[in-house]
Structure 1
């Protein structure tokens, strides 16, 4: 430590300098405020941040996602957007990615709603009708081929008739929940929190952990399904739990409708049908809101608000990046990673750090942010 303090702090010009600075930051991380070590730590952090800004840029947010987020934050609706853009169809087409924001639209939104022009002007993909139709047609062809090969042609239509209609799900909101056992101990708890009150870094943690392509797929991911099928074939006879390759939308469908069904091909087909219906009936943000408030986090916690309270004694908007990454690690196997079970702590930290690496790899946080978050102790409140 003293040897490090005697050395002058030099600019970071290479990846080797960068890695050395991160290693030294690790050593100085617990420095006492006001000390020489703390001053050196602050300078190193500034140099690392500047190097990352130049060499590890985080991609600008997608303009439609940014616009949707800003509308939620300001309490605005699609009708408000239509009023600014001068057309209901124009507002609908922008939000559904059927047309780009024009320079005139960007100017109006910037002036009326005080939104940064540069964040609305970044290039983004338009999901044209032809592209959507081609993607869905290809997905349907692959699924139908797989079903036909298994000798159960027509099963989608058969199962679809038995599933609830979207009218029963569209207006669903996860209920407030507080149930105690005979000894007065809390055994189930949920408090609904709107997506607008869940900070972006918390949402990003769940997308990195559970569904990297959430905003791009139509409810299911063929690459993920095929990858899971390959893993399951390779693991036959190993006793390993089968992987399902489920998207966030499929997980929501399972948690809303298929909670009592054991993993099987039947349930997977139902998931695909329900996920497709959910994507047509609800916006991506609404599906994500329902998912974050519905899923089980272990213990008595159902939903993100209950989980934040149970593990950290906080509201979702108070969670750090490290805490958000830990909560995002739980849905995969809640009782396997619970912090209140001593045997779980090592694997809970390993899983949390994996989520943080995924966030950095996906450009959702910087490498240094992931590094600092991994250094944060993983403890319950």
Structure 2
């Protein structure tokens, strides 16, 4: 059986093949034209004109513009004024709202899917973002930042940085890790980070050791310290010009430490000028004895110089003349049988007792004096 004969001509067949492609291209063009107004509407600038508007109304308008979800704390009350002379991009509407709320003492805590508007005093107690190291966030967002320190003490920097913190926010020191914990707005944290980095610097130059050969280091250091502390003598209270001078008695040397190498060199030159030998010799001499005993010679010389004689133990003894007179009295009393004289008065014995005493006396022996 013969196939049916196609009555369409070749030009008609080409026209029928182009029709589906034309319809597909028209549908794609219509979809593009329909999506263009939406994207253009999302990028169109917005004119902000809120004069003494209620905060809840402003937050609601910003929510419609940005598509964010907000939860306003019931304690948030007041009005704000946001006026733009010319249209602003939609991407700047939300940061503008944060700045306006911050001026009213209101903070914003960003969550995963919702933004909470709370009083500034309560923002530090909410679950805001916590970061460590360099500050990456910006704007008027409330952030808790942990900043570790390398050289300075965290407890000492707290008193320096506290006046720079917003009054309702906090700063604390953690001595265990030598770190600062600061809760404040992100833009203020960036400013504080620059201040901390400029203060957290390594100490000054290495200590310089200056040996003292002729003088005493303990005597030189007070003179140098007084000279450096005297403003009339060139002393200064600048930290970069400060010089620390310490004496080491064991090695008889002076240690110098300063952030300014030139000032440390000046102090070293001053120490070298003071470390000069004395013009006259010392008044201390050592005399070695060959035959005499040193302790007895010391007593004799001391008696000559002071007019008194002292024993090695330090007590004064009687003169040789007094000792001889005492010995004579003792010998006479033993020879004649007389008792030693006493200062207490006694009654005179009778004549008979005297005679008996004379008869009982032994015959005196000749004593050679």
- The structure that is helix-richer by fraction is 1
Pair in the same fold by TM > 0.5: no
TM range (shorter): under 0.3
What TM-score results when the alignment is normalised by the length of structure 2?
0.17
- Higher relative contact order at CA 8 Å, sep ≥6: structure 1 or structure 2? 1
Report the structure number with the largest CA radius of gyration. Answer: 2
- The structure that is strand-richer by fraction is 2
What TM-score results when the alignment is normalised by the length of structure 1?
0.17
